[in-house]
Amino acid sequence: MRLSLQVHYAICGIFDLAYNGQGGSVQVRVIGERQGIPGRYLEQIFRRLRQAELVLGKRGPGGGYRLCRSPAAITLLQVVEAVEGPLVRESRMGASPELEAGSYRPDFLWGDLSARFAEVLSDTNLESLCRKAAVEGVVRFRTDSLEYQI
């Protein structure tokens, strides 16, 4: 199964916000640098996440994005659907109009696969993703480690 590049970037971006944001606002440019995602492209993705009410955006100095809800309340299904729209859950997904019902194709399968994929995504929230990242040793950005002295 392949996810689109937009979905991949959306998951990486919102994960970074949950994992490194510590409840505060983070600029898209900073997220993009950490995740290796072009800032302008990530800004478009975050606009969709904001429209889906997954993140809040604040302009100006100290601005950036932050999560609208706790990481436990945001699922990967919500992120995917914010970027790509609702997952297709029809039993005849991908059927050709020239083929009639009862053809030789297993069109019944697509609805099952879509439903299972949606189930896995809805069972995975940002909090569990962050816990797994910590266990796997994903480096966390620490703002407290930056000290400026004059």
Q: How is residue 64 written in tokens? A: 């950036």
The model's pLDDT over 85-124, given as tens digits with 9 standing for 90+, comes to: 988 654 444 555 555 656 788 888 888 888 899 999 999 9
User: What is the average per-residue pLDDT within 79-87?
Assistant: 93
pTM: 0.82
- φ/ψ of 31, rounded to 5, equals -60, -45
DSSP assignment string, 58-102:
E-STT-EEEESS-GGG-BHHHHHHHHH-SPP--TTTT--TTSPTT
Q: How confident is the model at residue 18 (pLDDT cuts 50, 70, 90)?
A: very high
The model's pLDDT over 23-64, given as tens digits with 9 standing for 90+, comes to: 889 999 999 999 999 999 999 999 999 999 999 998 888 789
Q: How confident is the model at residue 138 (pLDDT cuts 50, 70, 90)?
A: very high
* Fold of domain 5-85+126-135: Arc Repressor Mutant, subunit A (1.10.10)
Calpha distance 145→122 (Å, rounded)? 35
**Cβ-proximal residues to 39 (8 Å cutoff; 6+ apart), any chain:** 28, 29, 32, 33
Q: Which amino acid is at 94?
A: G
Give the start-to-end residue ranges of the domains of the chain: 5-85+126-135
